[in-house]
Chain A
Amino acid sequence: MAFATTAQLPKNSLRRKSNLGKRIMRNWQLYLFILPALVYFIVFHYVPMYGVQIAFKDFVAKKGIMGSPWVGFEHFATFFHMEDVNSWATFVEALKEFFLSTSWTVILNTLLLAGYTLLAGFPIPVILALLLNEVKSVPYKKLVQNVTYAPNFISMVVMVGMINLFFANTGIVNSILGLIGVPPTNFLMNAGAFRHLYVWTGVWQSTGWSSIIYFAALSSVDPQLHEAATIDGASRLQRLIHINIPTILPTMAIMLIMQVGTIMNVGFEKIYLMQNASNIGVSEVIATYVYKLGIQQAQVSFSAAIGLFNNVVNLILLLIVNKVSKKVSDTGLW
């Protein structure tokens, strides 16, 4: 059957009647390819998606999601301290209040922490993959890959436990610093150190894992290019810059877009576990804040609203980065 159709195709295409129907028909099998994924997304994501309205309702369990009363943007207004806005003057007043409020602090903290995480966490795996790709000794290469990949499997509870042990006043980091004459620093009680601790321990944990995708992309570099370049007298560094990086550039662009699209989803568990009285001012992010409100009062609607806000920010950022990427590197999601 399949062959009957395809066998006729060349004739059709020769006529160059590329109207829509024909273009669809020619690749009808591709629709079968995408069907399972489509069914999955519809059943498991679109069918429950009516739940989005919870954010705009005052959810009452007995009445169900559909039967609960609408409240419009009330939950958003509460989060932004805009409940009482009815004129320009009250808006300005509310805006002032908002920028002094915890809501603004947690938004700012989330953005700063997420931005820092991206800034450090995005390029380092790329660099690791590029450097490792230049190593000639295969066993050494595999050893480094295996070792850097392993920390990914350390659970957050233990990870934070280790941070607490290593960076305590009497911990190993201070001991080592002491050897070179640096007086002990209280890393854990220092609010300024929190972001660095969070980000760099994260880099330690995820670099190897994140670089896997670049190892795979580097495997598609055309060896003939290297051959030719070597003959032309290009140095290793030159070849890395002019052959390897361009090859993995589309992958990098896509990874960057996807990471920006989830940027606001900073690691809740790790932050929550690392929080203490001293760093709460910089460590309270949207996720932890909502969690604290959520466990005290099961505010289904309010947390749904904040979750929605969070994701809309993500989506906007993704669209922006996608656009930029399209312009700069011609790689994008669409």
Chain B
Amino acid sequence: MNKKRVVALLLALGMAGSLLAGCSNDTQNQGNDGGSDVIKNDVVNKEGLPIANEKITITAMGCKDPGAAEWNDLSLFQKAEEKTNIHFEFELAETNSYSEKKNLKLASNQYPDMFLRSQSFMTQTDEETYGSQGTFIDLTPYIEAYAPNVQKRFEEHPELKAASTSLDGKIYGLASYMETSMLNPHLAFVDQAWLDKCGITELPSTVDEFYDMLVKFKNTDCDGDGDATNQVPLTAMATKNGWDHLEWFLMPAFTGTCTGLSVDVKDGEVVYAPALPEFKEYLAFLNKLWNENLLDHDFATQTQQQFLAKGKSGKVGVANMSPTALDEGPKYVSLKPLTSEWNSTPVVRTVNPITTGSAVITDNCKYPDAAMRWLDLWYATDDEAVEGFSGNAIFAGIEGETWKYTDDSKEYYEFIDPIKSFDDINTSVSVNMYMPAFTQFMAGPTAESNPRMDMKVTGVRENQNPYRKEVYPQARMTNEEATKAGRLETDLLNYVLEMSAKFVSGEESLDNFDAYLERLNAIGLEDYLKIKTDAYDRWAKAAK
């Protein structure tokens, strides 16, 4: 009786709700299904500044850093508005709420003219979804007509164009490109004083030499506290994706792949690294380090703060901790990538400088031509800059106004008073990173101005950059593929994480590695690799 009533009520009310909704939610079909007609406004000039003859307004939603300034308060954007006659009405959300707000606006059809700097929150799936629905307009004709700088960058960097292009051949989101000397990733650092105390004159180049070094660290009073047993030879920090530090530094020595617990390209073939036979050897090595207490037993669980506090305590030998995060004083040297009997080529991962979906223009925008011309400003190199507007201006402000190169070699830069650091850039000049822009800022700070940053930049330049290897690219998948791959990826990774933790700590014997592989296959490894391989092949074709 009661249950029946519940059901009947549910239906009745559900239907009433639907009727109500039917009225309020009438979708107006815009007609043109993302058609490639270019909108040309009379007020918009085809080239030169100003972009618009009279002031026009564009609404844009953007993601700003926590506590960062409103974009209209930044001097670079103020100057741009003055020179272009385009006024932006920004609706900014901070990193912790942007994703929800952006998704809600799109899902409920209440969106602005543009989305800017969405970082990872504008996924390729979003581009495919809202592009095919006509919410995001195809930028291809606008790039052709209004964006000479973007065109040049696409020619010089076909991978940038490939990453921006959707599977249907259209470009819905303009990718940003950022490469700087300061943000290049590092693998591992060690205190020179520790090496000296242990009599190590040459940095290890094989895993066996690395192991010997850890043993020496363990048994020498390297930290100088009179106790030769309390050093932590190797520590690391865990993330949701595994133990990135070990996977970037030690795992490539065995597998030759450098994307961690993920897919990579090895000898021209797409492989899933945790299913490679060499992965077993990597786990065996970690298990040995674990058993001999060379590897910190907190490595898989400690938080970043615990990890850094440990590093600063001076009791840690090897850790992937940037000198910029450590105390001044010791000289830290960067380790080199290692080799092993299973892999003789030292490799270091190349971080992808491309962030897709950094700028999209929606079908609400009345001035897509002007918007595209505005975006194009930031894809200029230093030489092509008009009024100083360029990709590097986004990063550090206009050259000659806020910063300059120390000499013609362009290896070092310094700030111009009153700007002292990137703090000042962020608060008063520019958004700094992840804007839709092409940034290639390879100069480093001078050693006097920032000695630890110099330590890091030099270490990376000398010991890592020579071994860089291309990794699996941001190859696009169809939404169906992405859905399936996403589910499989989560399932596979969960199992890999669970089992590798057990293998390393010895809770599970490595004799069971075959059973582990079988289980991966049962979860659907083959299907997953097929999707990833197809996507890679398509990408390789597009990037030619």
Contact = CB atoms under 8 A, between A and B. Distances in A.
Contacts of A64: 25-27, 109
A50 B17 contact: yes
Nearest to B483: A297
A297 B498 contact: no
A66 B301 contact: no
Given A46-B13, A65-B21, A298 B126 contact: yes
A165 interface: yes
Interface in A45-87: 46-50, 52-53, 59-67
B192 to A, nearest CB: 27
Contacts of B491: 101-102
A295 B501 CA distance: 25
B167 to A, nearest CB: 15
A94 interface: no
Nearest to A53: B18
A292 B18 contact: no
Given A53-B18, A64-B25, A64-B27, A169 B298 contact: yes
A168 interface: yes
Interface stretch (A7-15, A112-120, A271-279): A271-279
Given A64-B27, A277-B238, A284 B494 contact: yes
13 contacts: A46-B16, A47-B17, A52-B14, A102-B494, A169-B298, A170-B298, A188-B300, A277-B300, A278-B498, A278-B502, A296-B125, A297-B482, A298-B103
A234 interface: no
Nearest to A161: B303
A300 B107 contact: yes
B4 interface: no
Interface in B473-528: 479, 482-483, 486-487, 489-491, 494-495, 497-498, 500-502, 505, 522-523
A201 B244 CA distance: 29
A100 interface: yes
A216 to B, nearest CB: 29
Contact of A50 (B14, B103, B238): B14
Nearest to B109: A61
A299 interface: yes
B109 A66 contact: no
A168 B301 CA distance: 8
A46 B17 contact: yes
Nearest to A168: B298
B298 A61 contact: no
Nearest to B120: A295
Nearest to B299: A189
Nearest to A334: B2
B486 A61 contact: no
Interface stretch (B80-88, B127-135, B205-213, B443-451): B127-135
- Which 5 interchain pairs have the tightest Cβ spacing? A277-B497, A188-B301, A278-B501, A50-B17, A62-B133
A164 B17 contact: no
Nearest to B477: A297
A281 interface: yes
A319 interface: yes
A53 B22 CA distance: 13
B364 interface: no
B311 interface: no
Contacts of B541: none
B243 interface: yes
Interface string A169-188: 11000000000000000101
A293 B489 CA distance: 10
